[in-house]
Amino acid sequence: MSAVLNSTPAVEAIAASGLTKVFGEGEARMTAVDGVDFVAHFGEMVFLVGPSGSGKTTFLSMISGILRPDTGTVKVKGVDIWTLDADALSDFRLNTIGFVFQDFHLFARLTTAENVAIPLILKERNWNEAIGEAQKCLSIVGLGGRGEILPIKLSGGEQQRVAIARAIVGSPEILILDEPTASLDGDTGKMIISFVKSQVLNGQRCILIVTHDARINEFADRIVHMEDGHIRTQSEGTE
Ligand SMILES: Nc1ncnc2c1ncn2[C@@H]1O[C@H](COP(=O)(O)OP(=O)(O)OP(=O)(O)O)[C@@H](O)[C@H]1O
Ligand SMILES: [Mg+2]
């Protein structure tokens, strides 16, 4: 009885309801995401799969505070993020969510370590400390010792790993990765996803990954299928 009285209801990491996004007008009008409901919990690593153009990136952008939905709500840790003003939303994102963009979004004029350190610098951490943390994260993704060079000197897969290092640098509770292994060979992809997976095991984090990469399916706790802007089916992972 006391256990019941003492327990607080678990806050869902992500709870989206009726999410819709329409692009274009007239004949070009298309519904990229169409009334999607979705929940993910702490301690869970969820994969989102589906054909190209099915709305995966649009959906991720809305649940992570990057793209405002036309209708629907997004709660992250219980906070209704699209009711926040722009400053509060950026602070919330900075403190809560690590995001890997499908096309990396690295700053060309910053070194790889500076790129990775950006979230910490924005949180006003001491510069040297932030660069030190960034170097550690670069080592985790197999790029130790490459912190001083510019992203243009790196291969596509290496740039992708810099983007992953930047997403994990502040140990955010929620990690959202859009095709994080698309440019990586099988072993490197598995190594990185295995590290990311180790981050959910204590139940403190929630990780959502969009992927076409069946080589990493074994790491999923749950696989969600998206098609034509709808979530069609959900299945348990293969692990
Ligand atoms: N900014 C935009 N303006 C107009 N249409 C867009 C925009 N962003 C996405 N779309 C359209 O919305 C649909 C869904 O795109 P989205 O990028 O979400 O798909 P996806 O599932 O991530 O595809 P992929 O697997 O190729 O990355 C596509 O038809 C796309 O053309
Ligand atoms: Mg996409």
Total tally of structural domains belonging to the chain:
1
Q: How confident is the model at residue 204 (pLDDT cuts 50, 70, 90)?
A: confident
Residue 25: domain span: 2-236
Pocket test for ligand 1, best of 19, 21, 56, 61 (most atoms within 8 A of CB): 56
Ligand 1: which residue has its CA nearest to atom 18? 55
Ligand 1: which residue has its CA nearest to atom 27? 52
Q: Are 75 and 12 spatial neighbours (Cβ–Cβ below 8 Å)?
A: yes
pLDDT at residue 3, rounded to an integer: 45
pLDDT at residue 232, rounded to an integer: 86
User: In CATH, what number is assigned to the domain containing residue 87?
Assistant: 3.40.50.300
pLDDT digit string, tens, across residues 129-182? 999 999 999 999 999 999 999 999 999 999 999 999 999 998 899 999 999 998
| Rounded Cα gap, residues 236 and 239, in angstroms | 8
| Rounded Cα gap, residues 231 and 4, in angstroms | 34
Q: Please state, rounded to an integer, the average pLDDT across all residues of the chain.
A: 91
Task: Specify the DSSP class assigned to residue 55.
Answer: S
Cβ contacts of residue 175 below 8 Å, gap of 6+?
A: 97, 98, 99, 100, 167, 168, 196, 199, 205, 206, 207, 208
pLDDT digit string, tens, across residues 25-68? 999 999 999 999 999 999 999 999 999 999 999 999 999 999 99
